[in-house]
Amino acid sequence: MIRLGLRLHDAEKLPLEQMLPLVRQKGFVCAHVALGKLFKDIPCTPAALTPGYAHYLKHVFDENGLDIALLGNYLNLLHPDGAYLKDAYERYYAHIRFASLLGCGMVGTETGAPNAEYKFTPECRSEKTLLLFVERLKPVIRCAERYGVTVAIEPVARHSVWGPKAARRVLDEIGSPNLQILFDPVNMLDLDNVDGRGELFAEALETLGKDIAMVHLKDFVRCEEGFGLRSVGAGTGEMDYRAIMRYLKAEKPFVYATLENTTPENAAACRAAMQKIYDEV
């Protein structure tokens, strides 16, 4: 019953009408759509997100038997520059309106860092930063309520909402049914918690489970560069998805779960690996 999908900017670099049949042939039934990453030659400004554009996309996806699971709009609501923030709000409001026209009903976002570079600093994990994110998110959620759209935030170890407890705080502080969680277990990992990831994921499901609207599936390998962990296609690294799939099977019928960090060459195999685990648990 899980609805496995693909992050479309990981698919073949082809026009949409040629790409979507290939995605469907690989067994996917839904897609994560980030307009700016998917279409390099089509603007995704608020002015461009018209009803005509939405209905064109909806028609092409329907024609290929694919749902648009999520419209991605990954901007930094903690950016210190007022002009950037004004533009970010306009883009969030436009994406929410566009999602309602598409019929996908969900806009996904991460939770930012309190600097222009969108990089981790110790300040990311401060009480001040978390409360500022709550205040900055409130207007976005008010807009989502008006359009009947869900905004799903994604906890990430190096962002302002770094783990299950912080995410629970945000949900409870805002208190809106239009705010839910996009659960990406790998994004909650860093070198400090990776070896205790089983306990972390159990805490996340216990703390956030009832508010999980969608799941991202990918894997990780350890590396020397960056933060010591590199994301790869699901089933090709160290992740054990059995406990998570068991939870989804019991508690989240027909949940959207889109694969990330795949390649056109391994996407079908990654999907099959995740489906096999789901079927066996």
pLDDT digits (tens, 9 = 90+) for 201-244: 999 999 999 999 999 999 999 998 777 899 999 999 999 999 99
Residues 251 and 258: beta-carbon distance below 8 Å? no
3-state secondary structure of 8: helix
Would you place residue 40 in the very low, low, confident or very high pLDDT band (cuts 50, 70, 90)? confident
Instruction: Count CB neighbours of 261 within 10 A.
Output: 21
Amino acid identity at 209: G
Instruction: Return mean pLDDT, the chain.
Output: 97
Phi, psi of 64 (to 5 degrees): -105, 10
Task: Kindly report the CATH number that applies to the domain delimited by 3-216.
Answer: 3.20.20.150
Tell me phi and psi for residue 32, to 5 degrees.
-95, 120
Mean pLDDT over residues 191-209, rounded?
97
Name the strand (E) or helix (H) holding 102: helix 82-102
Calpha distance 62→111 (Å, rounded): 31
**Cβ atoms of residues 278 and 247 within 8 Å:** no
3-state class (DSSP) for residue 133: helix
Looking at the chain, how many residues does it have? Answer: 281
* Rounded-to-integer distance, Cα 85 and Cα 92, Å: 10
pTM for the whole thing? 0.96
Q: Who contacts 245 (Cβ-Cβ below 8 Å, separation ≥6)? A: 2, 274, 277, 278, 281
State the Cα–Cα distance between residues 219 and 41, nearest whole angstrom. 31
Angle formed by the axes of helices 197-208 and 164-174, to 10°?
A: 10
How much is the average pLDDT of 80-98? 98
Please give the average per-residue pLDDT across 21-44, as a whole number.
95
Which segments within 157-271 are labelled E, that is strand?
A: 179-183, 212-217, 219-222, 229-232, 256-259
Strand partners, 89: none
CA-CA-CA-CA dihedral for 224, 230, 235, 241, to nearest 10: 110
Per residue in 60-70, pLDDT (tens digit) is 999 999 999 99
Query: Quick one: pLDDT at residue 225?
Result: 77
Q: Strand, helix or coil at 197?
A: helix
